[in-house]
Structure 1
Amino acid sequence: MPKDLPGFYFDAEKNRYFPYKGPIPGSSTKPPPSRPPPSHQPQADSSCQSIKLRQKLIQSRELWGNVIFCRKEKLNFQSFYQKYHASQPMIWKYKGTKKIANIALGHVVADVSSQHGLMERDILVSVGANGLLCLFPVGQAEQEVDPMETHKADLVWPPNSDILPRRKELVKQLGSSYGSMTYLTSDVSSIKLLRKSCLPADIMSKHFLITTLGSESASGSVYLLDLSKPLHFGASVPIQEFHELASFEQTLWAADCDPEGRRAAIGTNRGAMLLNLETGISSWVLRCKSDVLSVQLVQSGKVVICGLRNGAIMTVDTRQKQIKRRADRSLTMSMPSSVCCLSSLDLWDQYFLASSMDGSIKLYDHRLIQKGPVQSYEGSVNSHTRIELGVDPSEKVVMSGGEDCYIRLWDIKTGEMLLKEKFMNSIPSAVCWPRRAAFRADGQDYRNYWQDHSLGAWLGSYEGIFYMDWL
């Protein structure tokens, strides 16, 4: 008698094994439709319902392959499971972090000097009110983070933490920023991790580009935060890895860098300029009467996308003369109000996300500017706040806060809202999804974020720092 092999069946006539493809022989040819997960379930039995749904999904995949039936439609199992997964986060709030992360957040992996020698550690870079810049060492629960200098994390979502299982390995230990904080001369307007394509695939850049708005007493400035050298926490001195690249009379609203990390696009109240990061020399690429509140350099480094206060989005080819740029209206589109955030996609470098201050969030293809957005994401609430967009490393979902204090997640391809929850009483204005060297734009050695529980999303608001992860 032939042995049973998982995933195979034995054909007696042909005297060989065959893999299961589609329905298992003898099973029903018309599978019963599986019920879609509700957008909001009662918290008392959400854990049990979650387990049951996962069991049904797994059973459906075993019976009918990677295609499952939902709402009388055929859906991809992996895509369906990721959507459900994204809608079930666990969220922690860190005490003692009020007003220090409401502007922007960044993530990098750097060497930290300790009594045991150099240790590679995740570093969270936060920017808060009054130009406050802080560096926080981050570790897993079992890593050596001094408990006397750690911000305590309280689970704030789901609200019934006694019913749902606690996953301690998902909680990040946020160390103290004591000795690794400084005040800049004016409010910080943007922070960007430099992209350096010249680095080996397993090495990520450890440099941040930071811009300040400027004030009556100080110019708008561009700074470089260099975290390539070992960090020393505990010393009562300002951050030493910090120096000014250039200063301007204009108000600096936003910045982005090219893949080589040599040039930066700067959005100002008079237009957009390119800054050579090695020489400090700048040149205008776009002059306009409306403030450029957001900028993006596409991966080629030859095109700058500018989001203006008047709602226009302009695509500027830096190789053309300014006169031609002004006249070429075919490279301009409009959003309903001021464009507060632009975010290019790395895996699909022809696409970028844009949000405006009326709550609109849209996906564009800059090759088809005249045809308008290719996707819209409904439900965000905004009127005047600059709120960041966050995209996960695998570029499956986009996240944004709102003035109603809700956090929302959408599926990038379909526009479906996957999560809408309120767990704070202030605007979630800063979002940061950590990236690793394995997440590469060329698709090589690319890991699926939703199968890796070592990374989660950082959120910043006036109330403090929050961390979101998934079971």
Structure 2
Amino acid sequence: MRKWNSREERRSRRRQGAHRNDWYRDNRQRIKEYGRNAQDLSSCSSMKLPGFYFDVEKNRYFRLLPGHNNCNPLTKEQLQEKEREKHRARLLSEDDQPFKKAPRVGLNTALLLQKRRVGLLPSNSYCRLVHEVKASGMMRQRLEVKSTENHSPNQDNFRVIVGDSASERVFTVNDVSHGGCKYGIMNFKGCSRGSLAVEMCDNLYFTNRKVNSICWASVNHPDSHVLLCLVGMADTPGCVSLLPASLFSNSNPEQPGMLCSFKISAAWSCAWCLNPQADKSFSTGLSRRIIVQDAEARRTQTYSVTSDVLAQQFAVRAPVLFNGCRSGEMFSIDLRVRGRRGGGWKSSRFHQESAITSVRLLQDENYLLAADMLGQIKLWDVRATKPVREYKGHHNEHAYLPIHVNEAEGLLLAVGQDCYTRLWSLQDGQLLRTIPSPHPAAKDLIPSVVFSSQLGGRRGLPGLLMAVKHDLYYFSYNTDPQDTTTRQPAR
């Protein structure tokens, strides 16, 4: 009886082995067929084998080797990074082509001009659509950033760049090799001749603290100062610094009279108020607190909240402050309402699913744009407290990333954590263009951008400035000098 069982077991094992061999033989042929037609790993997703990955170029499977001391470990993260870099290189090559895909089917400047002449297209729609076509065809060129002191190219990595309200100057924060950050202001030259040149005005202002938030401030005149939130380190507390922009100018030898620094706990965000009823006031968003201060009289109002305030912006028509929190809550504060306890001073409360990283009011201040750490960008109706439009494609998981709005051209821009810069139509939310970073993607190399139809002032040039690593790139409209239609704002 015991021998019979062992004989039956051997027969059963032979049958199982034969079935296995047949399965491998059949699937080997299928794998080869899939491998010949596959363009990337997603093409072979139906043939994934646990513990293996398919190499399209070599047309074979390789074993994944997780968590050991092999001299050449192969992990999913490395494979994904390799695929992302190949995708970026391919998009970068396509982006260098002089002719790019139109953002909308059949849309080009000649067709738009023809429709306008026959009266089928209103003037405001024509300007907006022309800007879409121009922005989708922007060409990249590298700019050499020279210092006013030694006229040598910039060698320090850009951390962030922020343009003033007229796009005449760009404030920069650069990492320095010995640690910490330095500040500077970029001025534009040669705009009237149809070319763009950048000159950096440095100053001996360094900090060993991280800059969390930056905005331009109008103390003496429009954009006269720069407001910065600095994170505290060790025994050094955090602070909010108000630096005069004239510090970064060689033409003004006199030192300005107003240089303020307000000691404060870790601040996540800041905003400057332009409404006359709260003139020379600014706000800072902290952990579970909001502080509104008068830069001259030093009066302070404090509001207690239940989360970290990561994003802020003041309205212009009324002294109302909009806030976005780590909890996903957004609300406004009317500075004219005083004395209410608890959360009674909150108004226009609404939520998104993740931490809010940026809020931007439109010119019609009944509408607010908000971005969060799930990569969602939504346009909210403040009165109805509900979203009316969503802009899809943005990528964010945990980074503190801003969004940029240019209403004159009807465009919305955002740089994702994947280091791609995306442009949407502000009116209907269509993704118009995705711009790859000129450098390989990395957590500390996310590009910082400034977009304007008048870079350099009233007679400036339209386009996009992108700062990544220690390089500065200009994406130009390539506008015909005789064609001035793209410089007319769409109303």
Same fold (TM over 0.5): yes
Relative to structure 1, the CA distance from residue 350 to residue 49 in structure 2 (aligned partners, 3 Å threshold; closer, same or farther) is: closer
Q: TM-score, normalised by structure 2?
A: 0.64
Assess, with a 3 A threshold, how the Cα gap between structure 1 residues 294 and 49 changes in structure 2: closer, same or farther: closer
Q: Does 1:124 pair with 2:170?
A: yes
Could you say which residue in structure 1 is the equivalent of 2:424?
410
Q: Does residue 469 in structure 1 map to residue 485 in structure 2?
A: no
Specify the alignment match of 1:458 in structure 2.
465
Which of 181-190 and 226-235 deviates more? 226-235
Aligned partners of 1:214 and 1:221 also within 8 Å: yes
1:292 Cα shift?
Answer: 0.6
Who is 1:80 aligned against? 129
Does residue 180 of the first structure (1) align with residue 203 of the second (2)?
yes
Question: Contact 1:98/1:463 (CA < 8 Å) preserved in 2?
Answer: yes
Summarize the Cα distance change of 1:288–1:420 in structure 2 as closer, same or farther, 3 Å threshold: same
What does the per-residue CA deviation read over 1:169-226, in whole Å, with 9 as the maximum and x for residues that have no partner? 34x212244x435212411112212247x96xxxx43222222122223222122222
8 Å Cα contact 1:254-1:267 kept in structure 2: yes
Kindly indicate whether residue 158 of structure 2 is the aligned counterpart of residue 136 of structure 1.
no
The number of residues matched between the two structures is 365
8 Å contact from structure 1 (residues 389, 431) kept in 2: no
1:22 is aligned to none
Tell me, yes or no, if the aligned pair for 1:101 and 1:461 is still in contact at 8 Å: yes
Q: Could you tell me which residue of structure 2 aligns to residue 333 of structure 1?
A: 350
| SS in structure 2 of the partner of residue 456 of structure 1 | strand
List alignment gaps of at least 5 residues for structure 1: 1-39, 69-74, 110-120, 144-168, 440-446
Q: Structure 1 CA distance, aligned partners of 2:342 and 2:471? A: 42
Cα distance in 1 for residues equivalent to 2:190 and 2:245: 21
- Shift of residue 307, structure 1, vs aligned partner: 0.8
CA–CA distance in 2 between the matches of 1:41 and 1:193?
36
**Secondary structure of 1:103 counterpart:** strand
**Cross-structure match for 1:293:** 310
Higher helix share: 2
TM-score scaled by length of structure 1 = 0.67
TM-aligned CA deviation for residue 272 of structure 1: 0.8
Supply the RMSD in Å over aligned alpha carbons. Answer: 3.9
Deviations 1:33-70 (A, max 9, x none): xxxxxxx98976728999994333323333454369xx
What residue ranges of structure 2 are gaps of 5+ in the alignment? 1-92, 145-152, 479-491
State the match for 1:317 in structure 2: 334
Q: Following TM superposition, by how much is the alpha carbon of 1:310 offset from its aligned partner in structure 2, in angstroms?
A: 1.3
Q: Give the CA deviation at 1:375.
A: 1.5
Contact 1:225 1:241 in 2 (8 A): no
Q: Give 1:360 shift.
A: 0.8
TM-superposed CA distance for 1:305, in Å, is 1.1
- 1:222-301 aligned at under 5 Å gives the runs 222-228=240-246, 231-232=249-250, 243-248=259-264, 250-259=265-274, 260=276, 261-284=279-302, 286-301=303-318
Distance 2:102 2:375 in 1: 33
CA contact (8 A) 1:180 1:233 kept: no
Pick closer, same or farther for the CA change 1:317–1:340 going to 2, 3 Å: same
Alignment partner for residue 367 of structure 2, among 337, 345, 351? 351
- Alignment equivalent of 1:386, drawn from 390, 394, 400: 400
Residue 206 of structure 1: aligned partner: 224
Q: Please give the alpha-carbon distance, in whole angstroms, between the structure 1 residues aligned to 2:301 and 2:95.
A: 57
Match of 1:26? Answer: none
- Matched residue type, 2:404: G
Partner of 1:14: none
Q: 3-state SS of the aligned residue for 1:81?
A: helix
Distance change in 2, residues 1:44/1:467 (3 Å) = closer
Q: Is the 8 A contact 1:393 1:433 kept in 2?
A: no
